[in-house]
Amino acid sequence: MSIEALVKEFAEVAANPKAQLKKYKDQGKKCIGVMPYFAPEELVAAAGMVPFGMWGSNDKTISQAKEYCATFYCTIAQLDLEMLLDGTLDLLDGVITPTICDTLRPMSQNIRVAMSEKLPCIFLAHPQNRKPAFGLKFTVDQYTHIRKELEKISGAPVTDEAISEAIKVYNKSRAARREFVKLANAHCDVITPIKRSAVLKAAWFMPKTEYTELLTALNAELSALPVCDWKGAKVVTSGIICDNPKLLQIFEDYNIAIAADDVAHESRAFRVDAPESGDPMMALAQQFAEQDFDVLLYDEQSSSNRRGEFVANLVKESGAKGLVLFMQQFCDPEEMEYPSLKKALDDAGIPHIRLGVDQQMRDFGQARTAIQAFADVISL
Amino acid sequence: MAETEKTTVAATEAAPVKKAPKPASPGTQALRKVVSDVYAAAWTAKEKGEPVGWSSSKFPCEIAEALGLAVVYPENQAAGIAAQHDGERMCQAAEELGFDNDICGYARISLAYASGVETTNESRRVPMPDFVLCCNNICNCMTKWYENIARMHNIPLIMIDVPYNNEVTVSDSQVAYMRAQFDDAIHQMEKIAGRKFDEKKFEQACANANRTAKAWLKVCDYLQYKPAPMSGFDLFNHMADVVTARGKTATAEAFELLATELEEHVKNGTTTAPFPEQYRVMFEGIPCWPDLRALFKPLKANGVNVTAVVYAPAFGFVYDDMDSMARAYCKAPNSVCIEQGVEWREGICRDNKVDGVLVHYNRSCKPWSGYMAEMQRRFTKDLGVPCAGFDGDQADPRNFNQAQYETRVQGLVEAMEETKKLKEARA
């Protein structure tokens, strides 16, 4: 398949999650909604079901969710609830609700109450002290609960062997996505911001064996191309999510390529692999423990600015000239880490802009002006 | 989630003729002194070259107490700064540092202070920290708030993480996780204190904390009497003591003294509330500290006394041993499931015989406000009482709209009146 055909396939999946859901249900598979962040999708796959990412929507309007939620909450969480209420996600067989931020805590309760007669809700509370033995143990306990709840839905035991196999599948998928991110940088004339986003987004709506096969093919095609001589600007993106094609179109309009990302919906989700040997449940706990440089997670070495410096290095190493921060409105963790990120970028002489975004945005006029001005700055 | 002394509603309430504030009772005075002493002790420790810590309000205070470490509480400080109308300026100072105005007002005030912005509220000035104690049973915002302080001052952060709980009971798994963290925290704090953990002092601190909690709950329980011997708003002020000094004997004694005064009021049929009680409500959430006067005014005008606040059970940490202490610290308002939250609130609503519920949708507190709409539905269904919500903020006055608040209170009063008539008609 050509690059164009492969990208088109990813783009169709990314743009039509509901059709994807129906496709797998028609195949007789069960599907589990997985809300952000860090849920062990491997367990869903090991249970023979399809994990289905829930990262809000760029096309929906919050309406029924207002019955549960005041306005000052992240729109991703509100739109997840909206889609559960309005029938968009009726085909799901269950939903995993992590609670690592202050919006997801009460939202886990709202979803459980709202779905009480409709859908099993699987609760997940990650530990922040995740690295010591006692933290690993607590993660294993939480994941064991998820495993049991998934077994109830699937009607069959989830074996250690199946989990070990799922870990291998997921590690392969993560490696392919990391490789794709590098190739997208090297071939940013072909993989434009909209295409890059579509390829990475599709991972949330496909079983990873299927997704990785397609992505490996795309990576192979990209590897065969000569590295492009990009004349436009290059940036690193940062934030929770930046998958709105209308917003990314502005990047394309001003010849801005994405060299790498520090985005929860993208690279933050596939930075860390799970060990492939030993107890597979502990391997998944270790994978969570090794998550690092993340606004949502406690940093044991918090007296230094590790995360800010990590992102600044990412900009330098990727060859980008600046950083665009998509600040998700009402996202405390992102907002709390902004001054430290800014300091690290300023210290490293890296220009950045901060764009306030949410998934209810329909007018990107202000963003266009800011991005255009930023493109001029970093092209100097 | 913390309170201030000195800003009693009675003292700040609007009045056409300026009257001298009523002298505080001995119990109230004792409670104020306890908090002042905590602040003074921190300054003394700093002067002596001893380390001073900043602690979140529901970090297990018993550990620092046993190690003889001086600790102050940024939440209490922020509430005090906000109540003395310096919150907006401090919040704006934090915004100039890059902290978004969506962030919790307490966090913004504290981060501004930590960065070196002085407050005009002299009673809430604190020495800069040498270590920070963070327990996120209140919220996850706390984690990043304290990380930022640790980063600003290059100091150690001791973290006790309390994962959110989806069940009414605290699992053995969570208790084991908590216990291990306690051990870890003790080990780290021994290094800071430069002395070994003293089991006997710890037991004493636990005994004090239990005694304080019981005395606090006893004081809160006086709101069950009809009419109540005080305004529930007073509890907000006394919260400062349970936040900053749970592990001290003087705190328990001060609450016990206040309890005897309330007992006397009950016997005499008197009250410290400055108006006759016609309606009784639960005030849900943290008050808008900068706007206490505005909060109180329409309540007084309509004879509405606050006779229930969630803080009563929220700070009544009573426990027997280390395991039950771990379980107790898992039960903060924002770390429990909706069923537990409803049970607490409906319990005090029933015990304290409320006619309605006034819900503060607090822009500063996402975990607290995030399931209040569902709770409101349950209060009305289970208790048959009307509820009204208003938008506000615990520390940033820009998020409070007095006109909206007054309209909502008026609506609640009308609904309570209607309910009362219906009940009387049925009787």
pLDDT tens profile B304-317: 999 999 877 777 78
The residues in B 315-354 lying below 8 A from A, measured between CB atoms, are 334-335, 337-338
Lookup result for tokens 């915004």: B95
Give the tens place of pLDDT for each residue, A98-130.
Answer: 999 999 999 999 999 999 999 999 999 999 999
Residues near A117 by Cβ (< 8 Å), separated by ≥ 6? none
User: Using an 8 Å Cβ cutoff, are A55 and A202 in contact?
Assistant: no
Question: Are B98 and A338 in contact (CB < 8 Å)?
Answer: yes
The continuous run of DSSP H or E covering B132 comes out as strand B131-135
* Domains, chain B: 9-198 (3.40.50.11890), 203-426 (3.40.50.11900)
In this structure, how many other beta carbons lie within 10 angstroms of the beta carbon of residue A278?
A: 10
Asked if B370 lies within 8 A of A102 by C-beta distance, the reply is yes
Spatial strand order of the sheet with B70-72 comes to: B70-72, B52-55, B131-135, B157-160
User: B-chain residues within 8 Å CB-CB of A132?
Assistant: 180, 184
**Among A37, A107, A118, A106, residue whose Cα is nearest residue A77:** A107
Q: Decide if A302 and B150 are in contact by the 8 Å CB cutoff.
A: yes
Q: Is residue A59 classed exposed, middle or buried when 0-12, 13-18 and 19+ CB atoms within 10 A define those classes?
A: exposed
CA distance B278 to chain A (A): 31
Does the beta carbon of B374 lie under 8 angstroms from any beta carbon of chain A? yes
* Structure tokens given for B248: 């001290």
Residue A255 contacts residue A232 (beta carbons within 8 Å): yes
Please give the pLDDT value at position B320. 85
Q: Are B272 and B231 in contact (CB under 8 A)?
A: yes
Which site among A35, A64, A72 would you substitute to test the B interface, given the most B Cβ atoms closer than 10 Å to its Cβ?
Answer: A72
Q: Do A332 and B144 touch (CB under 8 A)?
A: yes
pLDDT of residue B2: 40
Distance of alpha carbon B333 from alpha carbon B344, whole angstroms: 9
Using DSSP's 3-state secondary structure scheme, residue A257 falls into strand
pLDDT at B357: 98
Interatomic CA distance for residues B146 and B159, integer angstroms = 9
A108/B141 Cβ within 8 A: no
| Contact assessment for residue A172 and residue A276, using Cβ atoms and an 8 Å cutoff | no
* Cα gap B340→A122, rounded to integer Å: 18
C-alpha–C-alpha distance, residues B306 and A132, integer Å: 45
pLDDT at site B12: 41
Is B174 an interface residue toward A (CB < 8 Å)?
yes
Q: What is the length of chain B?
A: 427
Residue A108: C-alpha distances to residues A185, B148, B150, B165 (Å): 37, 27, 30, 10
CA-to-CA distance for B283 and B400, rounded, in angstroms?
A: 16
**Predicted confidence band at B187 (pLDDT cuts at 50, 70, 90)?**
very high
- If one counts every other C-beta atom within 10 angstroms of the C-beta of residue A274, the result is 23
CB contact under 8 A, B338 and A113: yes
Mean pLDDT of A234-252: 97
* Percent of chain A residues topping a pLDDT of 70: 100
Helices A75-85/A104-114 angle, 10° precision: 10
Query: Angle formed by the axes of helices B172-193 and A133-154, to 10°?
Result: 160
Helix (H, G, I), strand (E, B) or coil at A312: helix
Q: What confidence score (pLDDT) does residue B243 get? A: 86
In chain A, residues with a C-beta closer than 8 Å to the C-beta of B156 are: 303
- Mean pLDDT of the region B58-69: 95
The reply to whether residue B145 touches residue A72, judged by beta carbons under 8 angstroms, is no
Of A39-48, A163-172, A348-357, B22-31, minimum mean pLDDT range: B22-31
* Structure tokens that stand for A293 in this block: 């440089």
- Residue pLDDT, tens place only, B278-333: 999 999 999 999 999 999 999 999 999 999 998 777 777 889 888 999 999 999 98
With CA atoms as reference, the chain B residue closest to A73 would be B366
Question: Which domains, and CATH codes, for chain A?
Answer: 23-161 (3.40.50.11890)
Q: Is residue A144 scored above 80 in pLDDT?
A: yes
State percent of chain A over pLDDT 90.
99
Report which DSSP code applies to A138. H
* Min Cα–Cα distance to chain B from A8, Å: 39
User: Could you tell me the end-to-end alpha-carbon distance of chain B, in angstroms, rounded to an integer?
Assistant: 41
Whole-number mean pLDDT of chain B? 93
Nearest chain B residue (CA) to A128: B161
ipTM > 0.95 (yes/no): yes
Cβ-proximal residues to B62 (8 Å cutoff; 6+ apart), any chain: B202, B205, B206, B209, B247, B325
Amino acid identity, position A242? C
- B184–A102 C-beta distance less than 8 A: no
Closest approach of A217 to chain B, Cα-based (Å): 41
pLDDT at B10: 41
Q: How far is B365 from chain A (nearest CA, A)?
A: 9
Structure tokens at B371: 């399931």
Helix (H, G, I), strand (E, B) or coil at B1: coil
Q: List CB contacts (< 8 A) between B192 and chain A.
A: none
Chain A hits for B140, Cβ within 8 Å? 100-102, 105, 296, 332-333
pLDDT band, very low/low/confident/very high, at B17 (cuts 50, 70, 90):
low
Angle (CA) B214 B219 B223, round 5°: 130
B418 touches chain A (CB under 8 A): no
B18 — pLDDT class (breaks 50, 70, 90): low
From A139's Cα to the closest Cα of chain B, the distance in A is: 10
Tokens of B91: 């919040």
pLDDT mean over A135-164: 98
CA atoms within 13 A on the CB side of A247: 22
Omega before B227 within 30 of 0, i.e. cis? yes
Measure the CA–CA gap between A29 and B221, rounded to whole angstroms: 55
Percentage of chain B modeled with pLDDT above 90: 87
With beta carbons under 8 A apart, name residues in chain A contacting B366: 72-73, 102-103, 106, 330, 332
* Interface membership of B106 toward A (CB under 8 Å): no
Predicted confidence band of residue B19 (pLDDT cuts 50, 70, 90): low
Residues of chain B above pLDDT 70, percent? 95
CB contact under 8 A, A129 and B107: no
Residue in this structure with the two tokens 């798994």, named with its chain if needed:
B173
Encoded tokens for A280:
């597979």
Length of chain A: 380
**B107 in reach of chain A (CB within 8 A):** yes
